[in-house]
């Protein structure tokens, strides 16, 4: 009897020891994970912090051999000077116009194309879709060359048309939305057709609301692409009337001697980066939700 009790006590002790060990290991694991995430977050955020404090420094303090991690004199006037000196108002309007028009037209093309490949039946559909996917393997530089020749031959140089039309069709966006449409049961489409619903009405009333997270993701990515575009606007519309943000800021803060006012330049970069940062901060969940839903079948 005494041996049985002793064995029971030892077993209980072993169970408690294992339980305590598992709890300690779990706590240490979570602590290590949070420490790693904190370190990575600091590494990622440090360039943005450096951009902000640099934009608030004087030029003399910025050029010091030993950098300061907080400005001795906060120069809020750098932001006002950056806005006026680089003519940011016109650059913002040009970029916003190109971004909105190209995004709206691209969404229309993407939605109609994705619906056709997901629901309509026509001869050669799979072959055509496969050919479209094959174009994704072509380097983007080749498209730049051919698009430049086409735009030049059509007489679109130094116009907003050259900034908008060549990139309205995105095979990746069509594929992304098509995969999302494929998850919607086909029985809904057949039932709608029995009730006499047109394809456009079914698309507008059923498929678009169900695929809204993916459409929001496409909208955000398209706007970000237009906002950050550099090479193409530099090639086809580098005049003052059609300059976009990425091109207009390049030499706006360099004086006649070739010296750049880096704090004012950093202030301009902060102003330009703020809209995208706010959009991503407010709508980041839709990006992840849209991409994850498009990648899951069934």
Examine the pLDDT at 168 and tell me if it is beyond 70: yes
Q: Is residue 70 part of a domain?
A: no
Confidence band of 297 (pLDDT split at 50, 70, 90): very low
185 token code pair: 């049961």
CATH number of the structural domain spanning residue 167: 1.10.3720.10
Per the structure, how many domains does the chain have?
2
Domain identity same for 279 and 176 = yes
Examine the pLDDT at 292 and tell me if it is beyond 60: no
Domain identity same for 158 and 286 = yes
Confidence band of 293 (pLDDT split at 50, 70, 90): low
Domain identity same for 38 and 123 = no
Domain identity same for 236 and 284 = yes
Domain identity same for 241 and 115 = yes
Mean pLDDT of the chain: 83
Domain identity same for 153 and 14 = no
Confidence band of 101 (pLDDT split at 50, 70, 90): very high
Domain identity same for 169 and 35 = no
Q: Is residue 132 part of a domain?
A: yes
Q: Is residue 71 part of a domain?
A: no
Question: How does 165-179 read in b/e, with b if 16+ C-beta sit within 10 Å?
Answer: bbbbebbebbbbbbb
Domain identity same for 156 and 277 = yes
Question: How does 273-287 read in b/e, with b if 16+ C-beta sit within 10 Å?
Answer: eebeeeeeeeeeebb
Q: Is residue 64 part of a domain?
A: no
Domain identity same for 176 and 263 = yes
Q: Is residue 60 part of a domain?
A: no
Burial class (CB in 10 A: 0-12, 13-18, 19+), 23: exposed
Angle at 25 between CA 24 and CA 26, to 5 degrees: 90
Domain identity same for 159 and 245 = yes
Q: Is residue 229 part of a domain?
A: yes
Q: Is residue 193 part of a domain?
A: yes
Residue 260 β-bridge partners: 254
Domain identity same for 283 and 179 = yes
Helix (H/G/I), strand (E/B), else coil: 260? strand
In whole angstroms, what is the distance from residue 168 CA to residue 239 CA? Answer: 22
Domain identity same for 263 and 116 = yes
pLDDT at 289 (0 to 100) = 64
Q: Is residue 276 part of a domain?
A: yes
> Of all residues in the chain, what percent carry a pLDDT higher than 70?
87
Domain residue limits at 260: 77-294
What's the rounded mean pLDDT across residues 273-283? 80
pLDDT in tens, 205-219: 888 888 888 888 888
In whole angstroms, what is the distance from residue 232 CA to residue 169 CA? Answer: 16
Q: Of 2-6, 245-249, 266-270, which one has max mean pLDDT? A: 266-270
Pick from 174, 282, 248: which is nearest to 218 by CA? 174
What's the rounded mean pLDDT across residues 94-102? 90
């Amino acid at each position: 009897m005494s041996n049985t009790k002793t064995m029971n006590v030892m077993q209980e002790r072993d169970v408690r020891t294992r339980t305590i060990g598992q709890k300690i290991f779990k706590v240490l694991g979570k602590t290590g994970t949070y420490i790693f995430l904190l370190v990575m977050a600091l590494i990622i955020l440090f360039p943005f912090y450096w951009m902000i404090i640099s934009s608030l420094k004087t030029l003399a303090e910025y050029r010091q051999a030993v950098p300061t991690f907080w400005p001795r004199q906060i120069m809020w006037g750098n932001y006002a000077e950056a806005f006026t000196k680089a003519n940011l108002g016109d650059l913002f309007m040009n970029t916003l116009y190109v971004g909105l028009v190209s995004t709206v037209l691209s969404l229309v093309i993407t939605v109609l194309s994705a619906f056709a490949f997901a629901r309509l039946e026509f001869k050669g559909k799979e072959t055509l879709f496969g050919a479209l996917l094959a174009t994704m393997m072509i380097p983007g530089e080749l498209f730049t060359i051919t698009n430049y020749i086409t735009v030049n031959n059509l007489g679109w140089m130094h116009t907003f048309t050259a900034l908008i039309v060549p990139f309205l069709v995105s095979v990746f966006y069509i594929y992304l939305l098509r995969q999302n449409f494929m998850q919607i049961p086909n029985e809904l489409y057949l039932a709608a057709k029995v009730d006499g619903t047109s394809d456009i009405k079914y698309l507008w009333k059923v498929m678009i609301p169900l695929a809204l997270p993916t459409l929001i993701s496409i909208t955000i990515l398209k706007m970000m692409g237009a906002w950050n575009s550099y090479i193409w606007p530099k090639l086809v519309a580098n005049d003052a009337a059609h300059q976009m943000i990425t091109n207009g800021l390049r030499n706006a803060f360099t004086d006649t001697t070739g010296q750049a006012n880096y704090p004012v330049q950093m202030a301009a970069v902060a102003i330009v980066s703020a809209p995208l940062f706010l959009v991503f901060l407010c709508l980041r969940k839709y990006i992840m939700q849209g991409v994850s839903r498009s990648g899951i079948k069934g």
